Chain A
Amino acid sequence: MSARDEILNKLRSRSRQPDTHPPAWRSRRHFDDLAERFAESLGKSKGEVIRAGSLDEAFEQLDQTLLALGARCVVANDEPPLSQIDLAARWPGMQWHIVGRTPGDLRGFCATADAGVSSVVAALAETGSVVVTSGPGKSRLATLLPPVHIALVPESCLTADLYTFTAARQGPPPAMQTLISGPSKTADIEQTMAVGVHGPKRFIVILYRD
């Protein structure tokens, strides 16, 4: 008998009377101001939040952030709102790799880029997390290899918590979905916090009203 059948048969022959599965847990969280809670929670885990009143203002904040970083090579996922503007024309002094559009070695570019810019599919207020996924134009490495990850987050994609996010799921999930709740960190040496061990050292969210 195959290992599969052996294991399944054994489980079936040994199982007790099945319990009824409990009904789904629904969120009991309520936040008066989702954006405020999001910013507060993300701040606690060393993430940085910049608030903007509009999309235009968000792009201005992005200008300033990239300038302050002294960024010269930037990789960007090809997704709205980033795909709505001509990034290379806006920042002519910088070298841009737009995922799926710029030809050449994406992986090599990500490994040496100064920053990665992306959008998100959702943001959780309770835990200060954003959700990024894989897909056409959306690189996993772009938000992971560069030392800084900048995420553009419209307030309309805020939801209360993991439960409300999960309850709203539709269809099959993408191949990769990650909840990001701060910069990469470790406490493995004498319980001392150090940031940027494998992933980005800085995680900057530009949260804008839309």
Chain B
Amino acid sequence: MTEVTFKQFRSAAAGAIADPRLQSAIDGATLKFRTERHHALTELPDVDAMRDQLKAIRAATLSRLADHLETFERQATATGAKVHWARDAAEANQIAIDIARQHGVELIVKTKSMATEETHLNHALIDAGITPVETDLGEWIIQLAGEPPSHIVGPALHKTRQQVAELFSKEVGRELDPDDIPGLTAEARRLLREKFLAAGLGITGANLAVAETGSIVLVTNEGNGRLVTSAPPVQIALVGIEKIAPTWDDAAVWLQLLARSSTGQPLSIYTTAITGPAKADDPDGPREVHIILMDNGRSNQIGTGYEEVLECIRCGACLNACPVYQEVGGHSYGNPYSGPIGAVLVPLLFGLKEYEALPHASSLCTACLDACPVRINLPRMLLDLRRDEVQGRMLSPVERFIEQAAAYVLGHYRLYRLLTGTARIFQRPLVRGRFLRVPRRVNPAGERDLPSLAKRSFHDLWDEIR
């Protein structure tokens, strides 16, 4: 079980902050995403009303999720697809492995999918003796590097061209020029093309699933989503149960805002809807389509104050807007879901105790709320999670003591004045300029200043002014 304790988060964050190359990579990428998003959204008439509509669609869908899932299952089955259900990650992975084994598959091509990142499907496949190949260029880069994604949309945005060239060179067995990015891309095209044509199975996620027709919708820029669903004879889509759009009218709103919020494109280059396996008279396409509907902690949120987190369409806009994400980078969150959405979703799905630090990875500036196309109130949920930590007595005894003492002092005026008066005298040896020197342990990156108490309190000044 992975964990992100305060100590781990702090040291990962300090490492990221001290890495100037990483800092400039994240700054560059998030700034580009933010700028393009802004242009793409302002170009739409009525974008605010459209966001309200998406919010209403997502909220209403979740309030009747079981009905919509049943409709989806019925429609998908009618098209000839096979629908499977998985309570958790292990079940989902097992279903995929069983299908691969039934077909004697050795090589699998995959599209980028947060759901399969969530279940660590690649590890499970490798353990079962099956080779998965990521075909999204960014995902392939981090697969070669053996790293998790650092951004929901740009998984390899932390990698430099030199690092990419090195990874690719190893694959092709000859030196590639890091400054020739089109050349690197061409090598990837050549190598991965062979895999597409050789693979016995294609695995995708789903950006959304449309209940009324039983369709899976995939959005890509590279075309790998199309290839994975066209070349291999069998396809599996792993879908979180919350990703349902009841109708195509609903799906249209979702798609209209997804790419614009994510990369700032009006639509991604390819938006592909797969509705069952290829028909008898289709010249090509998969003969079998399997859809795995996965719960993995999602149903626990239904009907609670955290249901809203399931409205997420994984656009990544909140990551790009977040000043904390921009400093600490995706890997500090210790999970494929990073940034503000990760800070809320990960503790909810995988345990608040294990991921105790994540609800604190925020300055509560609410930039994520402003950026979110579904207007998900992440800051509220971050605060609620902190409250749960206090009520569940998950804080260290020292912190509890300090906070209880602080509450007591702030509630007793005379005591407060007495203590601040005394502190004014005792802080003197620690004061440097207007700040206090604090132990390195409390401030590992050495970037934060703790202001000292002013020479005279506001109370004193106020009495005088009056």
Residues of A participating in the B interface, judged by any CB pair closer than 8 Å? 2-4, 6-8, 10-12, 14-22, 24-25, 28-29, 41, 45, 99-100, 106-107, 111, 126-129, 134-141, 144, 161-163, 165-167, 169, 172-192, 194-200
Contact with A along B89-124 (1 / 0, CB 8 A): 001000000000000000000000000000000000
B307 CB–A CB distance under 8 Å: yes
Measured CB to CB, the nearest residue on chain B to A180 is: B270
Given contacts A139-B283, A183-B269, contact A175 B275 (CB under 8 A): yes
B136 to chain A, nearest CB (A): 7
B12 CB–A CB distance under 8 Å: no
- Assembly CA distance A167 to B250 (angstroms): 11
Q: Are B66 and A11 in contact (CB under 8 A)?
A: yes
Q: Are B136 and A188 in contact (CB under 8 A)?
A: yes
- Assembly CA distance A161 to B272 (angstroms): 16
- Assembly CA distance A22 to B241 (angstroms): 21
Within 8 A of A (CB), among B144-199: 154-157, 159-161, 164, 181-182, 184-186, 188-189, 192-193, 196-197
Contact of B275 among A19, A172, A185, A194 (CB under 8 A): A172
Of B49-57, B343-351, B385-393, B446-454, the one with at least 4 CB within 8 A of chain A: B49-57
Q: Are A7 and B85 in contact (CB under 8 A)?
A: yes
Q: Are A197 and B188 in contact (CB under 8 A)?
A: yes
Contact of A99 among B184, B248, B283 (CB under 8 A): B283
Q: In the A-B complex, list the 8 residue pairs whose CB atoms are closest, starting with the nearest.
A: A199-B223, A24-B249, A188-B138, A14-B303, A19-B60, A4-B85, A140-B230, A194-B185
Q: Are B269 and A18 in contact (CB under 8 A)?
A: no
Given contacts A19-B63, A198-B189, contact A106 B267 (CB under 8 A): no
B237 CB–A CB distance under 8 Å: no
- Assembly CA distance A5 to B91 (angstroms): 15
CB neighbours of B127 from chain A (8 A): none
CB neighbours of B69 from chain A (8 A): 7-8, 11
B32 CB–A CB distance under 8 Å: yes
Ordered by A's residue number, 9 sampled pairs between the chains whose C-beta atoms are within 8 Å are A8-B70, A10-B295, A25-B252, A41-B266, A45-B265, A176-B273, A176-B282, A178-B272, A189-B161
Contact of A7 among B50, B182, B249, B299 (CB under 8 A): B299
Contact with A along B245-285 (1 / 0, CB 8 A): 01111111101100000010111111111111111011111
CB neighbours of B268 from chain A (8 A): 181
Measured CB to CB, the nearest residue on chain A to B156 is: A188
- Assembly CA distance A11 to B157 (angstroms): 37
CB neighbours of B255 from chain A (8 A): 162
A39 to chain B, nearest CB (A): 14
CB neighbours of B91 from chain A (8 A): 3
CB neighbours of A166 from chain B (8 A): 248-249, 251-252
Q: A134-B279, A141-B231 are in contact. List 15 more A-B contacts (CB 8 A).
A: A7-B241, A7-B299, A18-B63, A18-B64, A19-B63, A21-B246, A25-B249, A135-B279, A136-B283, A138-B282, A140-B230, A140-B282, A162-B256, A186-B221, A191-B154
- Chain A at the B interface: mostly helix, strand, loop or mixed? loop
Q: Are A176 and B270 in contact (CB under 8 A)?
A: no
Size class of the B contact interface (CB-based, 8 Å): 35 or more
B302 CB–A CB distance under 8 Å: yes
A208 to chain B, nearest CB (A): 23
Q: Are A176 and B222 in contact (CB under 8 A)?
A: no
- Assembly CA distance A180 to B273 (angstroms): 12
Q: Are A16 and B307 in contact (CB under 8 A)?
A: yes
B430 CB–A CB distance under 8 Å: no
CB neighbours of A167 from chain B (8 A): 249
- Assembly CA distance A16 to B63 (angstroms): 6
Q: Are A191 and B249 in contact (CB under 8 A)?
A: no
Q: Are A198 and B227 in contact (CB under 8 A)?
A: yes
Q: Are A135 and B269 in contact (CB under 8 A)?
A: no
Within 8 A of A (CB), among B303-353: 303-304, 307
B22 to chain A, nearest CB (A): 13
B234 CB–A CB distance under 8 Å: no
Q: Are B181 and A194 in contact (CB under 8 A)?
A: yes
- Assembly CA distance A191 to B29 (angstroms): 7
